[in-house]
Amino acid sequence: MNVVEVSGVGRDYGSGDRVVHALTDVSFEVAKGELVAVRGRSGAGKTTLLNLIGGLDKPDTGTITVAGRKVTGAGEAELLELRRDVIGFVFQSFGLIPILSAAENVSVPMRLARRDPAERDQRVAVLLELVGLGGQAAQRPGELSGGQQQRVAVARALANDPDLLIADEPTGQLDSDTGRAIMDLLRAVVDARGMTALVATHDAALIDRADRVLTLRDGRLV
């Protein structure tokens, strides 16, 4: 079963002589349980591609489905639900809420999904344990290292048990050892839970741990 299907996707920014073809005729599939790296130079279109798949942006051409749901053509309410329940996001800059504890950050997607509070708290504890932060539940992002913050972000991305994990340069702000540990975590999550992941990166260690590598050059798959 394919968790991601991308067919003939194109995305331009700007118009006229200023047009930038960020993506041109991109097609590929990702099977359930695969960890796929998306590689390419700065400006090759990695972020654009992940944003389109995650329903954060709309393509000019082509179709995208995630876990059998059409992302292209989906309305705002459907996209909200997709981003909340079907896809988990991890960003380079962590994106945690500074005034919330690690546990509260992880609980946010479950609150949005109106999960039962007792079940939610139990799941937060399980997830923090999973990412190796069982002892840091009460700490705020500012009291955690970069690697620990990214672990919180991974736990948050897993909160609603998504079908697809999308990570855009998840190790970009981390030193190489810490980055490797985060990648090992992503690999373990994919292996243990049959999760599917799409990870944009320039990081060789990350690419080594992928099942497959897609390379973008000037907005095209090569």
- Contacts with ligand ATP by CB under 6 A lie at 13-14, 20, 22, 40, 42-48
Compare residues 19 and 99 and give the one whose CB is closer to ligand ATP. 19
User: Min. distance of Cβ 102 from ligand ATP in angstroms?
Assistant: 27
| Pairing of β 164-168 and β 196-200 | parallel
Which residue is it, tokens 């047009």? 19
Q: Are 6 and 54 in contact (CB under 8 A)?
A: no
Region of 62 on the Ramachandran plot (φ > 0 left; ψ -120 to 50 alpha; else beta): left
Residue 109's CB: how many other CB atoms inside 10 A?
21
CA 40 to CA 52: how far, in whole Å? 17
Supply the minimum distance, in Å, between the C-beta of residue 135 and ligand ATP: 34
Asked whether the beta carbons of 198 and 30 are under 8 A apart, the reply is yes
Whichever of 13 and 161 has its CB closer to ligand ATP, that residue is: 13
Q: How far is the CB of 14 from ligand ATP (least distance, A)?
A: 6
CB of 197 to ligand ATP, least distance (A): 17
- Reduce the DSSP state of residue 9 to 3 states and report it: strand
Q: Which CB sits closer to ligand ATP, 27 or 145?
A: 27
Q: Residue 66 — φ and ψ, nearest 5°? A: -130, 125
Element (H, E) at 175: none
40 versus 141: smaller Cβ distance to ligand ATP: 40
Residue with tokens 């736990």: 155
Query: Nearest approach, Cβ of 125 to ligand ATP (angstroms)?
Result: 34
Shortest gap between Cβ of 187 and ligand ATP (angstroms)? 21
- Of 51 and 65, CB closest to ligand ATP: 51
Cβ contact 163:66 at 8 Å: yes
Amino acid letter, residue 8: G
